[in-house]
Amino acid sequence: MGEIEQMKKEAEALKTQIEAARKAVHDTDMASAASGVAPAPRVQLKTRRTLKGHLAKIYAMHWSTDNRLMVSASQDGKLLIWDSHSGNKVNAVPLKSSWVMTCAYAPSGNLVASGGLDNMCTVYNLKTPVIKTVKELDAHTGYLSCARFLSDTEVLTASGDTTCALWDLETGKQKTVFLNHVGDCMCLSLSPDMNSFVSGACDSLAKLWDIRDGQCKQTFLGHTSDINAISFYPGGNAIITGSDDCTCKMYDLRADQEVISYQDAALNSGVTSLALSMSGRLIFAGYDDFNCNIWDSLKGEKVGVLSGHDNRVSCTGVPPDGMCVCTGSWDSFLKIWN
Amino acid sequence: MSSNSNLTSMKRTVEQLKLEASVDRIKVSQAAADLQQYCLQNASKDALLVGVPAGSNPFREPRSCALL
């Protein structure tokens, strides 16, 4: 028993040390540092497309790297592939389990993936004459909340079993399991250089992981409830998180701390999803109150709102070329704005 | 819960905290300056920030000009 008490003391001392080290470099905050930056223009975007086709709540969407196609997932039990320019459906993938929570497009455009309460990540080949299931990645002991392709042979998943995992698509097995969260993992985002990723969980923490050695390198505190959405800032030195505590936050990886919080006393709905504009200046955050608020990432001010959905905005996404933003909702529609 | 697994778990927690404590940190002012620079350098290419001319917007039908 004595040894455990000693370890507990050591852990507390280390936490205090980390807090002090963070304070020591906290010579300003983002908003103060950006006082000299010209404010972002008032952002007024129009709905250019309303994509109708799903018959139930939409839970996830993901853009293809071609900036044109996108995949969406709904609890009507389907993945739909859309041509965003024409607004037409290109493909429909029927799901074995309709309790889907995530979908992803492979960078190559050849594969898509889905997963949810079935605890599995299922990968489909879009290029065979008839869409085929390529693999069922089955090892998580909790729901699949997020999946992302690194390539046609590797997939990263986040799960309600509190772990994230890197899978080999050829063998269908987990290559690396990322263990450290103590709450359901809800979201993940790959770094631009693909060497690391960040995860957000119900333990209100965001963590940075090295993909190859499996280690958690940094842990970010500040949120007071589940982190539902997370994204790397375009340059790769910062991350943005969205939480049930109704705030979004930016954490700088090199300063190892929260540098700005995006919040408003009038906002008391949880953040469900977020996406960044191409330069990182604008944050599009979807909320439970049916809106998507637009934040100036440098100054912390709200600069616009996307209103038009009749239910919770569950997913948002900006394509790689930054030409538009897509919002998906429990009202069963996707909207494209610019 | 065996006291052995508690000890192992605490040891892991301490090792993880040691790793996280050893990170090199830069000043927030430096981090902020770098982030601002990135944003401003890429601002002109950010369609959602600066707008898209109607003619080159793939999501808008180009308006035809009527000569009256």
* Among A315, A228, A302, CA closest to A261: A302
* Among A246, A241, A284, A286, CA closest to A266: A246
Cα A203 to Cα A197: distance, rounded to the nearest angstrom: 18
Provide the pLDDT for residue B65. 54
Predicted TM-score (pTM) of this structure: 0.95
- Whether residue B38 and residue A218 make contact (CB cut-off 8 A), yes or no, is no
Provide the pLDDT for residue A76. 97
Provide the pLDDT for residue B60. 84
Question: Is a pLDDT exceeding 60 seen at residue B50?
Answer: yes
Provide the pLDDT for residue A260. 97
- B65 min Cα distance to partner chain A (Å): 21
Using a CB-CB cut-off of 8 Å, the residues of chain B touching A47 are none
Provide the pLDDT for residue B53. 83
Superfamily of domain A1-337 in the CATH hierarchy: YVTN repeat-like/Quinoprotein amine dehydrogenase (2.130.10.10)
Provide the pLDDT for residue B2. 62
Question: Is a pLDDT exceeding 90 seen at residue A277?
Answer: yes
- A328-337, B4-13, B57-66, range with greatest mean pLDDT: A328-337
Query: Residue B28 is nearest to which of A11, A259, A325, comparing CB atoms?
Result: A259
- Residues 6+ positions from A45 with CB-CB distance below 8 Å: A294, A304, A306, A325, A337, A338, B48
Cα B47 to Cα A90: distance, rounded to the nearest angstrom: 26
Residue A227: enclosing H or E segment and its boundaries? strand A227-232
pLDDT tens for each residue of A177-193 = 999 999 999 999 999 99
- B68 min Cα distance to partner chain A (Å): 28
- String of b and e for A177-213 (b: at least 16 CB within 10 Å)? ebebbeebbbbbbbbeeeebbbbbbbbbbbbbbebee
- Report CA B10 to chain centroid distance, whole Å: 33
| A126-130, A290-294, B6-10, B46-50: range with lowest mean pLDDT | B6-10
Mean pLDDT, rounded, of chain A: 97
Cα A254 to Cα A248: distance, rounded to the nearest angstrom: 19
pLDDT band per the 50, 70, 90 thresholds, residue A251: very high
Please report the domains of chain B, with CATH numbers, ordered by start residue: 1-45 (4.10.260.10)
pLDDT tens for each residue of A199-245 = 999 999 999 999 999 999 999 999 999 999 999 999 999 999 999 99
Residues in a beta bridge with A294: A284, A304
Question: Is a pLDDT exceeding 80 seen at residue B21?
Answer: yes
Percent pLDDT > 70 in chain A is 100
pLDDT band per the 50, 70, 90 thresholds, residue A41: confident
Question: Is a pLDDT exceeding 70 seen at residue A314?
Answer: yes
Which of B28, B40, B52 best tests the A interface by mutation, with the highest count of A CBs <10 A? B28
Using a CB-CB cut-off of 8 Å, the residues of chain B touching A18 are 17, 20-21
Using a CB-CB cut-off of 8 Å, the residues of chain B touching A306 are none
Which of B20, B34, B41, B50 best tests the A interface by mutation, with the highest count of A CBs <10 A? B20
